[in-house]
């Protein structure tokens, strides 16, 4: 996304223009899918009378006399012309585009088959002797249309990542006037040097630094740091992060393209644009089938015309039969049916596939990189340890006193303590100890809940061994003082999910490396990595470095999946070969991810990879069934056994095609998920 350095309305226009491009892209795909569906229904309706008027179908059903009438062949020709030009238009257009780009594929194969069948059949109606191929033509068009519709619906994933990023910012801000009053202004009106007021619980509207006030700021979606960060005067804040319990006045120092969020938007776009687009499996099969069809058709015509005594009409009929049979109906359904089944199967098991190419790539993964907060861990603070330093106070009593004092605080650590307590007591004379803790009276006792810094400042001896052990595990420790004496401590941590270790073991069994990527500190990261048995970890990684870490692992020759839930993970999710977003995370991570885990269960990553492997296996099996009969059908259609009285007529060829289509459909339904 290119920006020019000019006034802020231009920046707004830039963002809106960028969002509109993504919307247009998604609308284009949706329109194309609907177009295929509309053409399918109209073509199918027209195909029914064409099939009923086919001499071959009438003969098979014994209805020749009751369904045929004088001039019926002209009715078939007229209806087939509509199906050919209207229903077949996307394939005819695709044929021209593929040949122009010198990349013949599925469109070329379909285009050649339907054109050959149509032109030859019209010649038979108006000029030469032979058999008509109208019913083969229209059923081929119908099946290819519905196949492409199914495929497009499953592939369609217009990314809304940039829209979701923009939503993180509030629409208005409280601009501080010269007289100290505040005025509500639109976000795009803010400029560098402006001062804005952020009330408790509000989103910070732009990057800047604090000029007045103290608070804790939740930057977890922006930086990956799980703990709210205490901020005071002169500390920097990031637009999009959430203010905690205090009021802040900040001076804005970055807006527009210079802001943290805009830089993340740019990183997401760059990573999305640079993602390689692998060629479709069925297209590769279609490319070879096109060459085989053209080669076989040419050889058939040449042999029967110049090397035998058969007439031109016989040679032409054999050639057309070869060309029509070479394009199997089942090929149009082989991959889309498996995709549709696997997409539905995945959804029922808690993950949604948005990008099919990336999903197929998952079978070749060499490494899975996990975000820590909210992915391997729960992303919420819970009480993990309670220590008592006095026999007078049991753990339950300490927790009750601490939770009672913390019950009016909105701070995540306070909420974690309150949730752990069974009952709460009334608090009197509540007071905040600036930056160090809180105090109050409960049951006539003076209670303080304070940080380690408070103990040091007041020369209260710190129980170093226990504190250091917990601190190395990345836990937050608060101390409880009753009547001036240290009575205990409570440790809180972002708890590791129970399923994380199982998921890591399952991935290791598949031969896949497991790596953690986090903005959190090294101590916390090292503890989590050791507990889970990870192969490696990257800690204290800034958001703009996360995509680089993915590239670093990719440079080892490994296909990489990234699993995350935060805005800071969005560039990494887009850069990875497979981006797996935790569904309970931010909307932007979900919109950037190729696959979404709705259950937030790390075990789903292993199940997902197993499904990708099974899906690819089914695709290969289906392509074999869809094209395998060509090895027998094409030579027989060409007439290699004609001297023995064996020749494949279009009716038998169509029968073989139908059998392969049924086999492909049944085989797709047999796809299962291994958990």
**Residue 244: which pLDDT band, with cuts at 50, 70 and 90?**
confident
pLDDT at residue 37 in the model: 93
Q: Is 380 exposed, middle or buried (0-12, 13-18, 19+ CB in 10 A)?
A: middle
pLDDT score of 654 more than 50? yes
Containing 581, the helix (H) or strand (E) segment is: strand 578-582
CATH class label, 380-495: alpha beta
- Between the CA of residue 26 and those of 156, 407, 657, what are the distances in Å? 8, 47, 35
Asked if residues 428 and 440 have their Cβ atoms less than 8 Å apart, the reply is yes
Instruction: Say which range, 72-86, 193-207, 556-570, has the weakest mean pLDDT.
Output: 556-570
Q: Is 645 exposed, middle or buried (0-12, 13-18, 19+ CB in 10 A)?
A: exposed
- What's the CA gap between 360 and 590, in Å, rounded? 19
pLDDT at residue 314 in the model: 82
- What's the CA gap between 53 and 86, in Å, rounded? 20
**Which long-range contacts link 42-47 to residues 24+ away (Cβ below 8 Å)?**
42/86, 42/87, 43/83, 43/86, 43/87, 43/138, 43/141, 43/142, 43/145, 44/142, 46/79, 46/82, 46/83, 46/87, 46/138, 47/83, 47/135, 47/138, 47/139, 47/141, 47/142
pLDDT score of 147 more than 80? no
pLDDT in tens, 401-411: 999 998 877 77
Highest mean pLDDT among 39-48, 97-106, 151-160, 465-474: 39-48
pLDDT score of 5 more than 70? no
**Which long-range contacts link 422-427 to residues 24+ away (Cβ below 8 Å)?**
422/396, 424/400, 425/400, 425/401
pLDDT in tens, 363-391: 999 999 998 877 888 877 889 899 988 88
The better pLDDT of the pair 265, 252 is held by 252
- Between the CA of residue 152 and those of 35, 415, 661, what are the distances in Å? 11, 46, 20
pLDDT at residue 397 in the model: 92
Edge-to-edge strand ranges of the sheet holding 351-353? 351-353, 595-597, 578-582, 559-564, 365-371, 513-517, 536-538
pLDDT score of 263 more than 70? no
pLDDT at residue 653 in the model: 64
Instruction: Say which range, 12-21, 153-162, 191-200, 607-616, has the weakest mean pLDDT.
Output: 12-21
pLDDT score of 328 more than 70? no
pLDDT at residue 445 in the model: 92
Asked if residues 43 and 86 have their Cβ atoms less than 8 Å apart, the reply is yes
pLDDT at residue 161 in the model: 47
Mark out the alpha helices in 68-226 (DSSP H runs). Answer: 72-82, 89-100, 106-126, 134-155, 161-167, 220-223
Give mean pLDDT, residues 212-219: 88
pLDDT at residue 343 in the model: 75
pLDDT score of 279 more than 50? no
Closest by Cα among 132, 131, 88 to 110? 88
pLDDT score of 394 more than 60? yes
**Residue 83: which pLDDT band, with cuts at 50, 70 and 90?**
very high
| Angle, alpha carbons 444-446-451 (nearest 5°) | 150
Asked if residues 225 and 519 have their Cβ atoms less than 8 Å apart, the reply is yes
pLDDT score of 85 more than 60? yes
- What's the CA gap between 361 and 377, in Å, rounded? 26
pLDDT at residue 268 in the model: 57
Q: What CATH number labels 343-377+497-613?
A: 3.40.50.1000
pLDDT score of 330 more than 70? yes
Closest by Cα among 616, 649, 662, 666 to 320? 649
Q: What torsion do the CA atoms of 301, 305, 306, 311 make, to the nearest 10 degrees?
A: 170
pLDDT at residue 441 in the model: 93
Please give the DSSP secondary-structure letter assigned to residue 214. -
pLDDT score of 295 more than 60? yes
Phi, psi of 493 (to 5 degrees): -150, 160
pTM: 0.61
Instruction: Name residue, tokens 């291994």.
Output: 674
Q: Please, which residues have CB within 8 angstroms of residue 178's CB and are 6 or more apart in sequence?
A: none
pLDDT at residue 13 in the model: 42
In CATH terms, 164-272 corresponds, of 3.30.565.10, 3.10.580.10, 3.40.190.10, 2.70.150.10, to 2.70.150.10
Please give the DSSP secondary-structure letter assigned to residue 203. B
pLDDT at residue 274 in the model: 44
- What's the CA gap between 230 and 432, in Å, rounded? 14
Edge-to-edge strand ranges of the sheet holding 242-243? 229-231, 215-218, 242-243
The better pLDDT of the pair 49, 637 is held by 49
**Residue 311: which pLDDT band, with cuts at 50, 70 and 90?**
confident
- Between the CA of residue 574 and those of 18, 170, 368, 516, what are the distances in Å? 17, 25, 14, 17
- What's the CA gap between 349 and 346, in Å, rounded? 5
- What's the CA gap between 297 and 115, in Å, rounded? 14
pLDDT at residue 266 in the model: 62
pLDDT in tens, 427-480: 999 888 877 889 999 989 999 999 888 888 888 887 777 788 887 777 888 999
Highest mean pLDDT among 189-198, 451-460, 663-672: 189-198
pLDDT at residue 23 in the model: 47
Give mean pLDDT, residues 546-551: 93
Give mean pLDDT, residues 247-263: 80
Instruction: Name residue, tokens 């992915």.
Output: 375
Give mean pLDDT, residues 585-592: 56
The better pLDDT of the pair 155, 673 is held by 673
Please give the DSSP secondary-structure letter assigned to residue 362. G
Q: Give percent of the chain above pLDDT 70.
A: 83
- What's the CA gap between 197 and 200, in Å, rounded? 10
Catalytic residues: 371
pLDDT score of 551 more than 90? yes
Closest by Cα among 202, 175, 180, 178 to 191? 175
Highest mean pLDDT among 37-51, 329-343, 350-364, 518-532: 37-51
Q: Please, which residues have CB within 8 angstroms of residue 224's CB and are 6 or more apart in sequence?
A: 371, 372, 373, 518, 519, 520, 541, 543, 566, 568, 569
Q: What rounded mean pLDDT belongs to the chain?
A: 81
Pairing of strands 365-371, 513-517: parallel
pLDDT score of 270 more than 60? no
pLDDT score of 504 more than 80? yes
pLDDT at residue 391 in the model: 83
pLDDT score of 418 more than 80? yes
The better pLDDT of the pair 230, 150 is held by 230
Asked if residues 537 and 525 have their Cβ atoms less than 8 Å apart, the reply is yes
Asked if residues 317 and 648 have their Cβ atoms less than 8 Å apart, the reply is no
Give mean pLDDT, residues 86-101: 93
Containing 209, the helix (H) or strand (E) segment is: strand 207-212
pLDDT at residue 532 in the model: 93
Give 428-458 as a 3 state SS string: EEEEEECCCEEEEEECCEEEEEECHHHHHHC
pLDDT score of 8 more than 60? no
**Residue 221: which pLDDT band, with cuts at 50, 70 and 90?**
low
Assign 31 to helix, strand or coil: helix
- What's the CA gap between 659 and 628, in Å, rounded? 12
- What's the CA gap between 583 and 600, in Å, rounded? 6
pLDDT at residue 153 in the model: 67
pLDDT at residue 465 in the model: 78
Assign 92 to helix, strand or coil: helix
Give mean pLDDT, residues 80-108: 91
Pairing of strands 476-482, 445-450: antiparallel
Phi, psi of 550 (to 5 degrees): -60, -45
């Amino acid at each position: 996304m290119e920006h020019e350095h000019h006034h802020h309305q231009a920046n707004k226009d830039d963002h809106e223009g960028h969002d509109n491009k993504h919307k247009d892209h998604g609308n284009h795909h949706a329109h194309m899918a609907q177009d295929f569906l509309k053409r399918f229904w109209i073509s199918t309706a027209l195909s029914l009378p064409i099939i009923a008027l086919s001499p071959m179908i009438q003969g098979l059903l014994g209805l020749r006399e009751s369904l045929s009438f004088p001039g019926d062949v002209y009715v078939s020709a007229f209806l087939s012309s509509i199906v050919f030009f209207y229903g077949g238009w996307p394939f005819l257009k695709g044929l021209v585009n593929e040949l122009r780009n010198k990349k013949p594929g599925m469109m070329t194969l379909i285009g050649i088959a339907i054109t050959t069948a149509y032109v030859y059949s019209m010649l038979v109606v108006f000029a030469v002797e032979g058999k008509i191929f109208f019913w083969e033509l229209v059923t081929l068009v119908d099946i290819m249309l519905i196949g492409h519709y199914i495929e497009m619906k499953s592939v369609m994933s217009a990314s809304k990542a940039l829209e979701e990023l923009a939503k993180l910012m509030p629409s208005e801000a409280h601009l501080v006037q010269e007289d100290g009053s505040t005025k509500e202004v639109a976000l795009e009106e803010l400029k560098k040097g402006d001062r804005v007021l952020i009330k408790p619980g509000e989103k910070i509207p732009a990057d800047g630094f604090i000029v007045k006030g103290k608070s804790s700021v939740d930057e977890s979606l922006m930086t990956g740091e799980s703990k709210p960060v205490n901020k005071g005067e002169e500390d920097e804040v990031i637009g999009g992060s959430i203010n905690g319990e205090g009021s802040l006045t900040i001076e804005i120092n970055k807006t527009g393209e210079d802001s943290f969020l805009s830089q993340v938007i740019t990183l997401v776009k760059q990573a999305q644009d640079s993602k390689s687009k692998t060629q479709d499996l069925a297209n590769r099969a279609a490319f070879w089938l096109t060459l085989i069809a053209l080669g076989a058709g040419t050889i058939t015509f040449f042999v029967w015309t110049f090397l035998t005594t058969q007439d031109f009409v016989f040679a032409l009929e054999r050639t057309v039969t070869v060309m029509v049979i070479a394009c199997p109906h089942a090929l149009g359904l082989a991959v889309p049916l498996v995709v549709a089944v696997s997409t539905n199967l995945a959804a029922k098991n808690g993950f949604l596939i948005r990008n099919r190419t990336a999903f197929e790539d998952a079978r070749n993964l060499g490494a899975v990189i996990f975000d820590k907060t909210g992915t391997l861990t729960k992303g919420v603070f819970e009480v993990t340890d309670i220590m008592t330093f006095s026999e007078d106070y049991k753990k339950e009593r300490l927790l009750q006193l601490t939770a009672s004092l913390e019950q009016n605080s909105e701070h995540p650590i306070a909420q974690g303590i309150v949730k752990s307590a069974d009952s709460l007591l009334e608090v009197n004379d509540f007071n905040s100890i600036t930056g160090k803790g809180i105090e109050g009276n409960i049951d006539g006792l003076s209670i303080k809940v304070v940080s380690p810094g408070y103990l040091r400042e007041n020369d209260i001896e710190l129980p170093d061994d226990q504190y250091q052990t917990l601190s190395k595990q990345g836990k937050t420790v608060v101390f409880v003082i009753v009547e001036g004496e240290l009575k205990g401590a409570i440790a809180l941590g972002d708890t590791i999910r129970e399923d994380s270790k199982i998921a890591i073991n399952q991935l290791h069994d598949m031969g896949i490396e497991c790596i953690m990527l986090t903005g959190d500190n090294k101590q916390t990261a090292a503890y989590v990595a050791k507990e889970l048995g990870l192969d490696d970890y990257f800690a204290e990684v800034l958001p703009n470095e996360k995509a680089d870490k993915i590239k670093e692992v990719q440079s080892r020759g490994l296909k990489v999946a990234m699993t995350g839930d935060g805005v800071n993970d969005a560039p990494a999710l887009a850069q990875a070969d497979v981006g797996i977003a935790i569904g309970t995370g931010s909307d932007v991570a979900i919109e950037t991810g190729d696959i979404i885990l709705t259950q937030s269960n790390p075990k789903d990553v292993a199940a997902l990879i197993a499904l990708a492997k099974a899906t690819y296996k089914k695709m290969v099996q289906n392509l074999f069934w869809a094209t395998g009969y060509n090895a027998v059908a094409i030579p027989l259609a060409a007439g290699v056994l004609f001297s023995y009285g064996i020749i494949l007529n279009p009716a038998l060829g169509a029968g073989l095609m139908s059998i392969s289509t049924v086999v492909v459909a049944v085989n797709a339904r047999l796809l299962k998920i291994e958990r």
